[in-house]
Amino acid sequence: MIGYRDTLENYIRAISRLSGMELCIYDLDYFTYKFDELYVNWIYRSHNSPLCMLTKFSNRRHQDCVRLEHNRLISAFRSRDGFTIEPCHCGLVDIVVPITLGNKLIGGIFLGQVFLESQPDLSIYEEYFEGHQDIDVKDIFRVVEEVPVKSYSEMIYWKDICKLLASYVEEKIRFLEFRKEELGKNWYVSSIDLLPALSEPIQKAINIIRNRVTKGVTLEQVAFAVGYSPSQFSRRFRQETGMTFSQCLRTLRIELAQYLIKESNKNLCEVAFEVGYSDIPSFLRAFKSVTGMTPKEWVKHHVPIRAHKSGGEVSI
C-alpha cells in the first residue's frame, strides 16, 4: 500500500514530468514537517531551476526572491479566481494556487519556472545584476536560453491540476488534524522542525525520533531504519543538524514538556513521566540543560514556544 507521503511526492513528480514545468510547495504552516504523511523532500519546498538558483546565490537577492514569492502567494490568495499566473523579477512565470484552511493561508502550489509566450529581453538581467560581483551575467544568459517557453493556454490548463493538488493537501491536513484531536495527541512546533533543509535520510530520522519521543527510541534503531550503521548515522546526523542524537531527543522531550506545562493541568511529575523521564532529578537536569532555567523560572519568565490548537497558531 502506498503511504500518503509517497502519494504526495508521486503526484508532484508526475505533474512536473507531464507538464514540463517545475512544481514546489510553499509551506507557511510547517505542515510538511508537522505531519509525517505530508512530508516531501526538500527539493519540492522551494524553486530550484538553474536561473532561480543563480539569482538566489547572494543573501540580498535571496531575500528579494522570498519577499516576492510571499507577495505572489498573497495575491493568489486574494484573487477571486483562486489562482494567479505571474512572473517573478527574473521573468520566470508560475501558476500560483493558495493552500488554505478556512480563511487562513497556510501555503501554496507553484508550478512553472517558465517564460510565458516568449523569452524576455536580456536587458532585464543586465539591469538587475548590474554591480553584482558574485555572478557573471554570461552565466545568466546561458541558463536563460534553457528555460522552457509555455503558452497562456497551457498554463490555464494546468492551473486546474494545481487546484486539485492544493485541495488534496487541504483535505489531508483536515483529516490528520481531526485524527490527532480524536487520539488526544499533543502537537507543537519544535525548534527541530525549523532546521534548514536536511537530506532525506536525516529528515526521516527526525520524524522517527519525533514520533517515538515519549515512548523511547535508540540511536541504533533509528540508524537501522534509515539505512546507516550507528557510527555512520551518528556522524551524518551531527554534520547536518549540529547536534548529537541524544541532544536532539532531549530537546524534543523538553519542548514537549514546555508545551504541557503551559497547556495542561498536569503537575511536574506527570509531565516528566509523559515526556519519557522516570525521575524528577533527571528531568530537571535535562530541562535546565535545554532552557538554561528550571521549570519554575521558565514559567516566571514566560518563555514563548509555538503551539497549535484548533483555530490556528497561538503564542504562549
Q: Domains of the chain, with CATH numbers? A: 4-183 (3.30.450), 188-315 (1.10.10.60)
Give mean pLDDT, residues 281-290.
Answer: 93
> Who has greater pLDDT, 181 or 137?
137
Structure confidence at residue 308 (pLDDT): 41
Rounded to whole angstroms, the Cα distance separating 98 from 75 reads 9
Residues 6 or more apart in contact with residue 112 via CB below 8 angstroms: 21, 22, 85, 92, 93, 94, 95, 150, 155
Confidence of residue 135 (pLDDT cuts 50, 70, 90): confident
> Who has greater pLDDT, 213 or 94?
94
Rounded to whole angstroms, the Cα distance separating 43 from 7 reads 16
**Average pLDDT value for the chain:** 83
Give mean pLDDT, residues 216-228.
Answer: 91
Confidence of residue 224 (pLDDT cuts 50, 70, 90): very high
SS3 label, residue 18: helix
Confidence of residue 1 (pLDDT cuts 50, 70, 90): very low
* pLDDT at residue 161 is higher than 60: yes
Structure confidence at residue 102 (pLDDT): 86
Expressed in angstroms, the distance from the first to the final Cα of the chain is: 40
> Who has greater pLDDT, 183 or 59?
59
> Who has greater pLDDT, 7 or 209?
209
How do residues 73-125 score in pLDDT, each as one tens digit?
999 999 999 999 999 888 899 999 999 988 889 999 999 999 999 988 888 88
* pLDDT at residue 234 is higher than 90: yes
274-289 in b/e burial notation, b at 16+ Cβ within 10 A? bbbbeeeeebbebbee
Give mean pLDDT, residues 176-203.
Answer: 71
Q: Are 31 and 169 in contact (CB under 8 A)?
A: yes
The angle at the Cα of 263, spanning 259 to 269, to the nearest 5 degrees, equals: 70
Question: For the ranges 195-199, 202-206, 302-306, which has the lowest average pLDDT?
Answer: 302-306
Which grid coordinates are listed for 145?
536560453
Structure confidence at residue 105 (pLDDT): 92
SS3 label, residue 122: coil
